[in-house]
Chains A and B, each alone.
Chain A
Amino acid sequence: MSPRLFLQVASVEMRKRMSYRVDFWINAFVGFAAELTVAWFLWTALYAESGKSVIGGYDFDTMLVYYVFVIVFSRLVRGTEFEANVSQDIYEGGLNRYLVFPASYFGLKYAQHIGGLFPTIVQTGAFVAFWLIATGGAGGESITPTGVLMCAASLILANLLYYAMSFPLHVTAFWADNVWSLLVTLRFASNLLGGRMFPLVLFPLFLRNANEWLPFRTLFALPVEALLGRISFDAWLQGMAVGLVWLVVLAQVGRAVWRRGNLQYSGIGI
């Protein structure tokens, strides 16, 4: 697929999403504020209860900053996963038109996915600005330019990886009547094991060791830890390598499932 086509598809999707009404933006902000408030109450209680000022290497401010970033990054990594998606195309017959086009379906969908990220990127900027203004950047003292670069590279890999994880699940729509439950399971597993619910250092050691070899850590924990300077370069590199291997494996799985599904696709909806 040509870069030009990719950009064009992404930019069309971007314009579409940017034209959404206000409630779309309000939802995003309310969701962010709600999650952060919950984290704030929870951790205030936990720090008070335990009598410790540092838990798992995080003081209270850094813990909150961890949440600020893990919340916004998870949106960047997942995108709007329930919109313009593959299973919907399969169920509703939108796939038929794409199959006639002389372009890769996967490429077109990923371009839409990336284009659809644009509002989220704008939101991320807004949330970070909010954090800087409201708290003067408290808890983020350890952020360095290298950390920012490592974080950016992590986010790119994480976005690809999450897409590669959900794509085969969407494609099961060729057989299954409802892929929703699979997607929700993925969402839950990645929240838990990816460090979206709480920092991974809080897991028992044997779980942390096992998790090193799973793809989930690369999704959310790695970019945030890289940004906050809480991970060594070598450890980060190892995390990236594991993520990359999973990406390749999952891409092959996705391709195989797609092929099988296509063989028995009946072109519904036309």
Chain B
Amino acid sequence: MTIAALSRASTMIRVRDLQKTYYVHEKAPGLWGSIRSLVARKRIAKQAVQGVNLDVEEGEILGLVGPNGAGKTTLVKMLAGIIHPSGGDAQVLGHTPWERHNDFRRQIALIMGQKAQLWWDLPAADGFLLLKEIYRVPDERYAKNLAYLAEVLDVTKHLNVQVRRLSLGERMKMELIAALLHEPRVVFLDEPTIGLDLTAQRAIRDFLLAYREEHRPAMILTSHYMEDIERLCKRIVIIDGGEFIYDGPLERVAKTYATQKVITAHLRANVGTPIDLTAFERFGELLPAEENEVKLRVARDAVAEAAAALLAGLPVADLSIDEEDIGTIIERIFRERRVESS
């Protein structure tokens, strides 16, 4: 095999100019609105995804980031084959998802934090048995996978409890097991950690990393928790209003978009008298800080000057210069776009 063929073989998700427009009928509220809508319904178009391009390789976890209504779930729905696009193309494992070939569906999984997929009335164990049949998982592999997944996610003792009686975190773990029993090669995770406490979030993140090491699936993850993205994804795609904004390494987001840095000066312990900081305000914004600490956010090109001023004017013991955190940067990108478009 040539190198080109090799690299092609490992691209599991390929999306080209994918678009989705929803049409909804608008109806005025109230009885009168209902009556009027019988005669004339106004159809409005909503462009949820406008020309997205991306590739995901084997073993890669792609972070899909965007504010509410950005089109993340819509993109995932198309790639999982639930809905048809309005234009463009996508190939997942060499299949067109919305044709829904069984061969395709046997190799993917979709996990949605917002919406339970397991059967509410059944104990998780019974639901898993159904999935075993649906995905035709051989007995031995099923037993092995279930034991492993339940053990790692620490839910073995809840397996025989009706799903509706589980806590949100326990249920999410069951959903993960349900989605992974058949060892999918492509996994879509739509806000898998939503509403979970920090311990459960961490457990799920660690689990996903371990799972990736072992099975090397291609994954697309959406989340509003930056920690998920930072821990799991080396690469992210940012979309907003259905439009593609950024595709590249996570760390480059900061380099590309961060216009400011944060300088933290740790002062020598026994400074005593309150210090006047107003002199530094001309460099940038003073941020709330710990005792004996000064935090200053400054434009990139003013970093050197501001640091020098701090060193000269204060009893500094130690000084660090950091990028803004990634969540703040991304938030600002969205905010600025709002301002531009209005």
A positions within 8 Å CB-CB of B:
2, 4-5, 8-9, 12, 16, 93, 96-97, 99-103, 262-267, 269-270
Among A8, A9, A99, A264, max chain B CB count under 10 A is at A99
Query: Does B54 make an interface contact (CB < 8 A)?
Result: no
- With A96-B82, A99-B81, A270-B112 as known contacts, state yes or no: A8 contacts B129, CB within 8 Å: yes
Decide: A100 and B83 in contact? CB cutoff 8 A. no
Decide: A267 and B105 in contact? CB cutoff 8 A. no
Decide: B105 and A101 in contact? CB cutoff 8 A. yes
Query: Does B164 make an interface contact (CB < 8 A)?
Result: no
Decide: A102 and B106 in contact? CB cutoff 8 A. yes
User: What's the minimum C-beta distance from A42 to chain B, rounded to whole angstroms?
Assistant: 39
Decide: B114 and A102 in contact? CB cutoff 8 A. no
- With A96-B115, A100-B105, A103-B102 as known contacts, state yes or no: A2 contacts B133, CB within 8 Å: yes
A103's nearest neighbour on chain B, judged by CB, is B134
Q: What are 21 sample pairs from A and B whose C-beta atoms fall under 8 A apart?
A: A2-B136, A5-B133, A9-B133, A12-B122, A12-B126, A96-B115, A99-B81, A99-B100, A100-B82, A100-B109, A101-B105, A101-B134, A103-B134, A262-B84, A264-B23, A264-B84, A265-B82, A266-B22, A270-B73, A270-B112, A270-B190
Interface 1/0s, chain B 80-112, versus A by CB < 8 A?
A: 111110000000000000001011111011101
Chain B residues lying within 8 Å of A5, measured Cβ to Cβ, are: 133-134
Chain B contact-residue range equals: 20 to 34
CA of A164 to CA of B299 in the docked complex: distance in angstroms?
A: 68
User: What's the minimum C-beta distance from B202 to chain A, rounded to whole angstroms?
Assistant: 25
CA of A5 to CA of B84 in the docked complex: distance in angstroms?
A: 28
User: What's the minimum C-beta distance from A207 to chain B, rounded to whole angstroms?
Assistant: 34
Among A99, A100, A264, max chain B CB count under 10 A is at A100
Decide: A267 and B77 in contact? CB cutoff 8 A. yes
CA of A8 to CA of B130 in the docked complex: distance in angstroms?
A: 7
Among B23, B77, B102, B135, max chain A CB count under 10 A is at B77
Chain A residues lying within 8 Å of B84, measured Cβ to Cβ, are: 262-265
CA of A4 to CA of B133 in the docked complex: distance in angstroms?
A: 8
CA of A264 to CA of B74 in the docked complex: distance in angstroms?
A: 13
User: What's the minimum C-beta distance from B277 to chain A, rounded to whole angstroms?
Assistant: 50
Chain A residues lying within 8 Å of B104, measured Cβ to Cβ, are: 102
Chain B residues lying within 8 Å of A269, measured Cβ to Cβ, are: 115
Decide: A270 and B115 in contact? CB cutoff 8 A. yes
The answer, among B82, B102, B106, B109, for a CB contact under 8 Å with A99, is B82
The answer, among A93, A97, A102, A267, for a CB contact under 8 Å with B83, is A267
Question: Known pairs A9-B133, A103-B102. 15 more at Cβ < 8 A?
Answer: A8-B133, A16-B121, A97-B117, A99-B81, A99-B100, A100-B81, A100-B108, A102-B105, A102-B106, A102-B134, A103-B134, A262-B84, A264-B84, A267-B82, A270-B77
A97's nearest neighbour on chain B, judged by CB, is B117
B103's nearest neighbour on chain A, judged by CB, is A102
- Could you tell me which residues of chain B, from 128 to 169, have a CB within 8 Å of some CB in chain A? 129-130, 133-136
User: What's the minimum C-beta distance from A38 to chain B, rounded to whole angstroms?
Assistant: 34
Chain A residues lying within 8 Å of B119, measured Cβ to Cβ, are: 12
The answer, among B110, B114, B130, B190, for a CB contact under 8 Å with A9, is B130
Chain A residues lying within 8 Å of B133, measured Cβ to Cβ, are: 2, 4-5, 8-9
Which 3 pairs of residues, A with B, have the shortest CB-CB distance?
A: A102-B105, A102-B102, A102-B106
Chain B residues lying within 8 Å of A96, measured Cβ to Cβ, are: 77, 82, 112, 115
CA of A264 to CA of B115 in the docked complex: distance in angstroms?
A: 21
